[in-house]
Structure 1
Amino acid sequence: MTTLRNLDVISDSVCPWCWIGKRNLDEALAMLAEEGLRFNLRWRPFQLNPDMPAEGVPRAAYRAQKFGSEARGRELDANVAEAGRNVGLTFRHDLMERTPNSVASHRVVRMAHGQGLQDAVLEAFFRGYFQEGRDVGDPATLVELAAAAGMDGAAVATMLAGDEYREAVLAEDAAARSGGISGVPSFLLDRHLLFSGALPASRMADAFRRADAILSERASAA
């Protein structure tokens, strides 16, 4: 009998490569499901910009400071947009005015786990930010997007008005860093780090397949 393994994906809602990685992951998991391999998928938090002010900052100025110039920022955006097109995603960097703090979005994604809605909610946040230029650091925006993905908007608003899930999100973010993770998306199977980066779907599937076989072999030898 095949063991249903835990697949944890560490990501940030403001990471473009995480959206691309998610699309590749969807395809990889569909491939493996046809072979009878399925996983308990859970999305875990990471902050690309842990020192970001709660209200966020103007995106153009922030990226110019981070990457040395606005021109370099636009060059990187163009690379992301091309990679996105290759997997059917549209990035509208021209609509993105602010770089938000992502803690609130991670809190909503964590809340969504208990409702089986993590995947749908995170997809809504990615699409809202990268394709629609929505501010996913703004509580009202998060409530609207989460409700459209199936969550109770009033419950999400109440949660965000308090501190629920904040410490848990910050603790998981800190644990990932202390564990050596510095880039996302990162993929862990039964707590074993397999790889980081938005690998093509076929390579993802191969990595999960091989890791599952190794873990099964170890278990049978124990």
Structure 2
Amino acid sequence: MNNEKPLLIEVVSDVVCPWCFIGQRRLARAIDLVRAEVPDFRHEIRWRPFFLNPDTPPAGEPYLPFLVQKFGSRAQVEGIWQRIREIGVPLGIDYRFEKIEVRANTLAAHRLIHWAQQHGDAAGLVEELFKAQFEQGENVGDPEVLARVAAACGHDRASVLAYLGSGEDAATVRQMERESRSWGVSSVPTFVFARQSGIQGAEEPRVLADGIRQAWAAMAG
């Protein structure tokens, strides 16, 4: 099999979704599985925005009180956190939910990812945003935090701050999010392969690998 074009993998996600961090790590492992079996496999990953909590105020709001109200009790929240922590361990994720103080509005983060993708691969930036949110407990809605993360990934801090302060691409990002929902995406992460097939949920690497292989084979005709 020798496809001329790489397989487009679009990942619909939100940087404040803990399952999206898991999905990102599992996707990387799935791609390794496919490469081991399909030597000529090539792919391109593009990140698409999703607003997990579209009603989040622009400045954010307290994190834990929101979760307690959503899930009914602190005990319920702690149980969910523990389950996610256990799943994250073998993937190398060190969830520190207790550090998170702000339920962030993620429009600026999605704009930053969109901006980065205009300049190349945004995988490293997405990884560091997940780490900032879930391992360091930072407010990923804060432009200063976003600029610092972007600078650590090789982007110019001043340029990032200027971009985030401009409001540029806000309408584009919102339209992309609406478009993803129009495809039937209702939860994240969702992985879309060549706009022809997809998998919803942070499935195990072997499940994602099966979907990738099938999409790659379909491209060959």
Task: Map Cα deviations across residues 23-74 of structure 1 (whole Å, 9 max, x no partner).
Answer: 1111111232342211111011001001110111101111011112222111
C-alpha distance in 1 between matches for 2:31 and 2:104: 30
The one-letter code sitting in structure 1 at the alignment partner of 2:32 is A
The one-letter code sitting in structure 2 at the alignment partner of 1:68 is G
2:113 counterpart of 1:143: no
- Counterpart selection for 2:18 from 13, 16, 20: 16
Root-mean-square deviation (CA, aligned residues, Å) is 1.2
The answer to whether the Cα contact below 8 Å between 1:32 and 1:38 also exists between their aligned partners in 2 is: no
Shift of 1:21: 0.6
C-alpha distance in 1 between matches for 2:140 and 2:76: 24
- TM-score using structure 1 length: 0.94
Q: Which segments of structure 1 move beyond 3 Å, counting only runs of 4 or more?
A: none
The one-letter code sitting in structure 2 at the alignment partner of 1:43 is W
The answer to whether the Cα contact below 8 Å between 2:197 and 2:215 also exists between their aligned partners in 1 is: no
The one-letter code sitting in structure 2 at the alignment partner of 1:99 is R
Gaps of 5+ in 1: 218-222
Identity of aligned residues (%): 35
Shift of 1:214: 2.7
C-alpha distance in 2 between matches for 1:154 and 1:33: 38
Shift of 1:175: 1.4
Shift of 1:82: 0.8
Q: How many pairs does the alignment contain?
A: 217
Shift of 1:17: 0.7
Residues 199-214 of structure 1: matches in 2 within 5 Å?
199-214=203-218
C-alpha distance in 1 between matches for 2:73 and 2:181: 28
Equivalent residue for 1:220? none
Other structure's SS at 1:47 match: coil
The answer to whether the Cα contact below 8 Å between 1:117 and 1:151 also exists between their aligned partners in 2 is: no
Gaps of 5+ in 2: none
Shift of 1:215: 3.6
Other structure's SS at 1:53 match: coil
